[in-house]
């Protein structure tokens, strides 16, 4: 049985949650980025940003976030579903789709009609109804595909 929780609810503590997300998305150059972003995230889940873990029992199976921007040029769009990661041993068990569904519900509760994401994956998000709209650019000038989904 899985459970999706706000990182503020993680029984092993905030430092463990931050370490997990940083291990999946961070690098040596941005050691403080995820720490600062996560400690300033919404505890109540009623504003952005929000960071979540999906657990199977006490074990972390993955993570995702709802963000103001996912480091892409389209600052006029929000919220962004980002930081989606599923541990290899949990892939194929619908953990990613559960987090996508959860993110859409949470975005809808905050009054957003759509959510957005940027990715270089082909075919994954389309399976869950995400629609490609156009490209944006990251801060290094590289193109990134943008998708949307109604909440």
In this predicted structure, the answer to whether residue 31 has a pLDDT above a threshold of 80 is no
Peptide bond into 49 cis (omega under 30): yes
Read off the pLDDT of residues 79-115 as tens digits, 9 standing for 90 and up.
Answer: 999 999 999 999 999 999 999 999 999 999 999 999 9
- In order of start, what are the domains of the chain with their CATH numbers? 2-150 (3.40.630.30)
Report the pLDDT value the prediction gives residue 69, as an integer from 0 to 100: 96
pTM: 0.95
Q: Give the strand pairing for 114-119 and 2-6.
A: unpaired
């Amino acid at each position: 049985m899985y459970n999706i929780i706000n990182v503020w609810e993680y029984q092993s503590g905030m430092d463990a949650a931050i370490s997990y997300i940083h291990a999946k998305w961070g690098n040596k150059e941005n050691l403080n980025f995820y720490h600062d972003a996560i400690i300033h995230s919404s505890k109540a889940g009623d504003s952005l940003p929000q960071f979540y873990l999906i657990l199977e029992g006490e074990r972390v199976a993955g993570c995702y976030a709802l963000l103001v921007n996912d480091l892409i040029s389209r600052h006029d769009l929000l919220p962004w579903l980002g930081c989606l990661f599923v541990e290899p041993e949990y892939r194929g068990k619908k953990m990613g789709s559960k987090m996508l569904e959860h993110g859409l519900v949470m975005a809808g509760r905050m009054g957003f009609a759509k959510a957005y994401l940027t990715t270089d994956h082909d075919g994954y998000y389309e399976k869950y109804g995400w629609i490609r709209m156009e490209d944006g650019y990251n801060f290094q000038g590289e193109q990134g595909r943008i998708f949307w989904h109604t909440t």
